């Protein structure tokens, strides 16, 4: 079983070290183009998945073909045969995208960690954790960067270490899209408590509070002066 918390940390480290090694510009520009962005945003509103995450999934699964299902790239107007199978048909791309993000593994709409590590790990889960299980970077995320050299599942369950994924990976796409659209930002990391640990609340120390000091009324200099004058006059009469 893959340690998801550990994979998030590893993917965040890879992101920090990643440099693009291919030209992502033309593909990234098509993903942030206003007419495409507004469609991705319409799905974000319903699923809470960031629009730019939806965009890179769309590119990886179907080369941004609007007549396909987001879940696996099968035709929109047919029941899907690739994993996840049995989905559709759908009347619109948006309807299929909603189904993919809400009803299909890894159920991206349930994710609440859109930090660097959280986002990249969700994208990796979308394609499958077979690479993580071997301790290898996923080409789905890292192809086209210095974090990936070779190795690819050429079909379900069949891995070839010598094949190089020719598609552009999600990380390089996001890095390039960020240079074109300032609204693309990762969220803050979500704190993950390791399994089997218990959170111990910090000890608190009660500091006694002294009683308030009530100021004594001051006798004005005018009153003292009057008293002294009165006493002096009594002694003078004697």
- pLDDT digits 0-9 by tens, 154-205: 987 899 999 999 999 999 999 999 999 999 999 998 765 544 544 444 444 4
Preceding omega of 32 cis (within 30 degrees of 0): no
What does the CA dihedral 114, 117, 120, 122 come to, rounded to 10 degrees?
-60
pLDDT at 190: 72
Q: Which pTM was predicted?
A: 0.80
Among 92-96, 145-149, 229-233, which is the least confidently predicted range? 229-233
Read off the pLDDT of each residue in 115-121 and give the average, rounded to a whole number.
98
User: How many CA within 13 A on the CB side of residue 125?
Assistant: 23
Instruction: Tell me the three state secondary structure of residue 152.
Output: strand
d(CA 173, CA 119): 13
What would the mean pLDDT of 103-112 be, rounded to a whole number? 97
Average pLDDT value for residue range 117-138? 97
The pLDDT of residue 16: 98
Q: Is the dihedral of CA 35, 126, 47, 190 positive or negative?
A: negative
Question: Could you read off the pLDDT of 58-100 as tens digits, one per residue?
Answer: 999 999 999 999 999 999 999 999 999 999 999 999 999 999 9
CA distance 51 to 33: 12
Is the peptide bond between 74 and the residue preceding it cis, with omega within 30 degrees of 0?
no
Q: Please give the pLDDT value at position 210.
A: 58
Over 173-207, what HEC string results?
A: HHHHHHCCCCCCCCCCCCCCCCCCCCCCCCCCCCC
* Position with higher pLDDT, 229 vs 67: 67
Contact between residue 68 and residue 74 where contact means Cβ atoms under 8 Å apart: yes
């Amino acid at each position: 079983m893959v340690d998801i918390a550990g994979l998030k940390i590893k993917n965040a480290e890879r992101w920090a070290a990643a440099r693009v090694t291919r030209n992502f510009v033309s593909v990234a520009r098509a993903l942030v183009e206003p007419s495409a962005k507004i469609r991705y945003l319409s799905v974000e509103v319903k699923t809470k998945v960031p629009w730019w995450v939806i965009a890179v999934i769309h590119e990886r699964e179907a080369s941004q073909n609007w007549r396909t299902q987001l879940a696996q790239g099968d035709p929109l107007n047919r029941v899907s045969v690739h994993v996840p199978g049995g989905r559709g048909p759908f009347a619109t791309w948006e309807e299929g995208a909603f189904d993919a993000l809400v009803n299909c593994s890894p159920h991206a709409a349930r994710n609440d960690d859109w930090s660097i590590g959280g986002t990249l790990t969700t994208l990796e889960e979308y394609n499958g954790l077979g690479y993580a299980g071997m301790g290898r970077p996923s080409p789905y995320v890292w192809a086209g960067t210095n974090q990936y050299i070779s190795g690819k599942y050429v079909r379900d369950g069949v891995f070839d270490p010598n094949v190089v994924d020719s598609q552009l990976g999600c990380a390089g796409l996001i890095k390039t899209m960020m240079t074109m659209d300032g609204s693309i930002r990762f969220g803050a990391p979500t704190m993950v408590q390791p399994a089997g640990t218990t959170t111990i609340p910090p000890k608190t120390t009660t500091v006694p509070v002294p009683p308030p000091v009530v100021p004594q009324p001051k006798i004005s200099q005018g009153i003292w002066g009057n008293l002294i004058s009165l006493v002096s006059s009594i002694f003078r009469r004697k």
